[in-house]
C-alpha cells in the first residue's frame, strides 16, 4: 500500500482533478449568488448562468471550456473593478464580493491547463495565433452573455419597457455564434464578431449617453481581438510580396524558398502524382490556396510551412 501511495498521479488524473476543482469553485460562486438572490428573479438567472459555467469548466471540450471561462470572466471583471474602486476611495471591499471573486479566480486558474492539453490542441489547431483566437472567443462569450442577460432579465421580471429586445437578442446571438464559429475554426466566426463589434460602435456613437457609449465600446472588444490576427497576416503577406524577387530574377544558390504544402506525411508514399507533398501536384496547390484564403484560422493539420 505504501508503494502504491508513492506512485504519482498520471497527468490525465491531475487534469481531471483540476477540472473538478474548477467546477466546484464555479458552483460555489453560483451558490453565493443564489443565497444573495432572496427570490430575486434577475439574480437567480445570473446564478443559473454561473451554474452552467461550472458545468463548462468541468468538461474537456474546447467549446465548453471557452463558455465556462467566459462566464467566469463575466463575474470576475465587475467584481474586481468594484473592489478596486472601493479601495481607491479608502474603503474595505465587501467580504461576500471578495469570496465570489476568489472563487471565480480559482476556477480560472485551475481550468487554465485544460485548453493546452494535446487533445485540446488537436481539437483547436489554427495555423497561427491560437492564444489570440481563444482569447477572442472567450471575449465573445462574455459580451454575448451580457447581451443575453439584458434580453432575458426583463422578460423574467415582466418588464418590457427596456431597450428593444430584438436588437439586444440579435447581439447576444451574434457574439455567441461568433465564439462557436471561431472554436470550430470557421472564418465566418471572425467576420461575424467583427460585424457585431462594428454595430456596437455605431450604436454607441449615436446613443447620446456616455455610459451606454462606453459599454457598447467595450462590447466591440471581441471583434477587435479576432480581427487583429487577420490584419497582421495581411500585412505580413504584403511585406513578403514586396520583398519577393521579381519574376524571372535569378535566386542565389543558398536562398531558401518557403512554400505552403499539405501536411499529409503519413500518406506521402501513397499519394498520386497530382497530390504529391512537394508542392508540385495540382491537388497540393489547391489545398495551399484554400488554406491561404482562410488565413491564420486555417487548421494547422491541413497546412504546414517548410
- What pLDDT, on the 0 to 100 scale, is given for residue 162? 61
Task: Please state which of the ranges 68-77, 134-143, 255-264, 280-289 shows the lowest mean pLDDT.
Answer: 255-264
Other beta carbons within 10 Å of 58: 23
Task: With beta carbons less than 8 A apart as the criterion, state whether 169 and 176 touch.
Answer: no
Q: What rounded mean pLDDT belongs to the chain?
A: 79
pTM: 0.75
What are the pLDDT digits (tens) for 215-249?
899 999 999 999 998 888 788 767 766 766 555 55
What mean pLDDT comes out for the span 156-162? 68
What mean pLDDT comes out for the span 132-141? 95
Q: CB burial class (10 A; 0-12, 13-18, 19+) of residue 177? A: middle
d(CA 91, CA 83): 9
pLDDT > 60? residue 3: no
- Give 9 or 218, the one with higher predicted confidence: 218
- Give 153 or 239, the one with higher predicted confidence: 153
- What pLDDT, on the 0 to 100 scale, is given for residue 293? 47
Nearest 5°: the CA angle 18, 19, 23 is: 115
pLDDT > 90? residue 261: no
User: Residue 140: which of 206, 73, 187, 82 has the closest Cα?
Assistant: 73
What are the pLDDT digits (tens) for 195-211?
999 999 998 888 888 88
What mean pLDDT comes out for the span 89-116? 91
Helix (H, G, I), strand (E, B) or coil at 260: strand
pLDDT > 60? residue 286: no
Task: Please state which of the ranges 50-59, 242-251, 276-285 shows the lowest mean pLDDT.
Answer: 276-285
pLDDT > 90? residue 181: yes
C-alpha 33: how far from chain center: 25
d(CA 13, CA 111): 14
Amino acid at each position: 500500500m505504501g508503494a502504491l501511495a508513492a506512485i504519482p498521479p498520471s497527468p490525465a488524473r491531475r487534469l481531471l482533478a483540476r477540472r473538478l476543482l474548477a467546477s466546484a469553485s464555479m458552483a460555489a460562486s453560483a451558490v453565493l449568488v443564489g443565497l444573495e438572490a432572496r427570490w430575486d428573479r434577475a439574480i437567480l438567472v445570473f446564478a443559473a448562468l454561473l451554474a452552467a459555467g461550472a458545468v463548462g469548466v468541468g468538461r474537456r471540450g474546447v467549446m465548453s471550456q471557452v463558455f465556462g471561462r467566459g462566464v467566469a470572466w463575466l463575474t470576475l471583471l465587475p467584481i474586481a473593478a468594484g473592489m478596486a474602486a472601493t479601495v481607491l476611495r479608502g474603503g474595505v471591499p465587501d467580504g461576500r464580493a471578495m469570496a465570489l471573486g476568489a472563487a471565480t479566480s480559482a476556477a480560472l486558474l485551475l481550468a487554465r491547463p485544460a485548453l493546452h492539453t494535446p487533445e485540446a490542441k488537436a481539437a483547436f489547431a489554427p495555423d497561427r495565433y491560437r492564444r489570440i483566437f481563444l482569447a477572442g472567443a472567450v471575449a465573445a462569450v462574455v459580451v454575448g452573455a451580457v447581451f443575453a442577460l439584458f434580453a432575458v432579465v426583463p422578460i423574467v421580471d415582466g418588464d418590457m419597457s427596456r431597450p428593444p429586445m430584438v436588437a439586444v437578442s440579435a447581439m447576444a446571438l451574434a457574439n455567441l455564434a461568433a465564439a462557436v464559429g471561431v472554436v470550430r475554426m470557421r472564418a465566418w466566426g471572425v467576420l461575424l464578431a467583427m460585424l457585431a463589434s462594428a454595430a456596437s460602435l455605431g450604436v454607441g456613437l449615436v446613443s447620446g449617453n456616455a455610459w451606454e457609449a462606453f459599454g457598447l465600446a467595450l462590447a466591440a472588444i471581441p471583434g477587435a481581438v479576432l480581427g487583429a490576427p487577420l490584419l497582421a497576416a495581411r500585412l505580413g503577406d504584403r511585406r513578403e510580396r514586396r520583398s519577393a524577387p521579381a519574376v524571372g530574377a535569378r535566386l542565389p544558390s543558398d536562398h531558401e524558398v518557403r512554400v505552403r504544402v499539405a501536411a499529409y506525411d503519413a500518406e506521402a508514399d501513397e499519394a498520386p502524382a497530382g497530390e504529391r507533398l512537394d508542392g508540385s501536384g495540382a491537388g497540393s496547390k489547391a489545398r495551399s490556396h484554400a488554406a491561404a484564403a482562410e488565413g491564420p484560422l486555417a487548421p494547422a493539420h491541413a497546412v504546414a510551412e517548410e
